[in-house]
Amino acid sequence: MRDSILKNIVSIELRSCRNCLLLPAFGQLPSLQQLYISKMDYLEYIDNYFPGESPVRGFPALEVLRISKLPNLVGLSREEGRELLPCLHQIDIRNCPKLTLPCLSSPTLLNVSSSSNVVPSSISNLKNLTTLSVHVRDMVSFPEEMLQNLTVLESLSIWGCHEIESLPDHGLRSLKSLKRLTIDHCYKLSYLSESLGHLTALEELNVSGCPKLVTLPDSIKHLPSLAIFNPAFRASSPAKFFGFGDPSNRSSLCMLKTAVLGSFENRNNGASADSSLRTQIQIQLRLQLQLQLRSTSLRSERTGERRKDKRHRNTFFSELVFVVIDWYSSLSLNLL
């Protein structure tokens, strides 16, 4: 097929070929960059073509692979170990319950939507992923090996995993480069382990649609790089979580720059709790900003003198520059 009339084609989409057993030798097309395949009931492999006995670089220019609703797909290539997909950047997988991913070094972005944990179990074979999105509706727990080897992963999104109750503990510990973590609509998720504290590179944390998650581990308060925190879950005392009124938490989250607090819900106290939270945030920020200004003034008056008074160091939220509470949109304008 390398010398066929299709040699200059860059994109192919095949859908609803229900009785197709084998695909043509698309892997030999030198210019093919995008391949979309969906709704083929009997297809087992994407690549079946092996000319000669020497290894052939399959799909030499393919950058994006999207496969959907292939119930019997078990692999990308029938022959393991064959050099395959050297330029592949993005893989989108939807409802391919039998698929096992091979070891590939080129993909950096993977989107998985499935009803089976077969694909998640082999995600660790893509060790150079930087962005991962996982949506597995019926999976009760994540395979412990799912996040292993993903040492360069920077963004992880877990959404619509309705049955899971917790995240893989040891897997989280290996995500040394993770900067963004999003957990969305995991209805039974009730627990996040202290392993979250090992995500030392984490800059942004978003939690929403998890009605059974009422608190976060203490270790999250000491993440050195966390700059954006967007929690949206039911909490009996959101102010207490942030350390308001607790002197032991004065150094917690000291690097936080953006806190979006709009979706906290107190089911017991209603509107009075909302007003109380607003008041506590205003008072706390006024005090800390005053301390910061006062500390700056004292330093300028005592040029060259090193201050030993730790009361003016690492003040809680000293770097906070933006606060949003959905119910009180003017709050950020009235802090001072």
pLDDT higher than 60, residue 28: yes
Whole-number Å distance between alpha carbons of 10 and 92:
18
Whole-number Å distance between alpha carbons of 58 and 30:
9
pLDDT at 255: 55
CB contact at 8 A, 220 and 242: no
CB contact at 8 A, 182 and 158: yes
Read off the pTM: 0.76
pLDDT higher than 80, residue 46: yes
pLDDT at 91: 97
Mean predicted confidence (pLDDT) in 118-147: 88
pLDDT at 259: 58
Stronger pLDDT, 260 or 323, i.e. the higher one: 260
Stronger pLDDT, 120 or 278, i.e. the higher one: 120
AA letter at 28: Q
Structural fold of domain 67-299+311-333: 3.80.10
Write the secondary structure of the chain as one string of H (helix), E (strand) and C (coil).
CCCCCCCCCCEEEEECCCCCCCCCCHHHCCCCCEEEEECCCCCCEEECCCCCCCCCCECCCCCEEEEECCCCCCEEECCCCCCECCCCCEEEEECCCCCCCCCCCCCCEEEEEECCCHHHHCHHHCCCCCEEEEEECCCCCCCCCCCCCCCCCCEEEEECCCCCCCCCHHHHHCCCCCCEEEEECCCCCCCCCHHHHHCCCCCEEEEECCCCCCCCCHHHHHCCCCCEEEEECECCCHHHHCCCCCHHHCCCCCCCCEEECCCCECCCCCHHHHHHHHHHHHHHHHHHHHHHHHHHHHHHHCCCCCCCCHHHCCCCCCCCCEEEECCECCHHHCCC
Cβ-based neighbour number of residue 128 at 10 Å: 14
Q: How does pLDDT run across 182-220, given as a tens digit for each residue?
A: 999 999 998 888 888 889 999 998 988 888 887 778 888
Whole-number Å distance between alpha carbons of 241 and 249:
10
* Burial of 51 per CB tally in 10 Å (0-12, 13-18, 19+): exposed
pLDDT at 111: 96
Q: How does pLDDT run across 79-129, given as a tens digit for each residue?
A: 766 678 999 999 999 999 999 999 999 999 999 998 677 788 899 999 999
The angle at the Cα of 26, spanning 43 to 133, to the nearest 5 degrees, equals 65
pLDDT higher than 60, residue 280: no
Mean predicted confidence (pLDDT) in 318-335: 42
pLDDT at 244: 44
CB contact at 8 A, 72 and 55: no
Phi and psi, residue 203, nearest 5°: -110, -25
Whole-number Å distance between alpha carbons of 268 and 210:
18
pLDDT at 299: 53
pLDDT at 234: 52
Q: What is the residue-averaged pLDDT of the chain?
A: 75
Using the Cα atoms of residue 299, residue 304, residue 308 and residue 314 in order, give the sign of their dihedral. Answer: positive
pLDDT higher than 70, residue 312: no
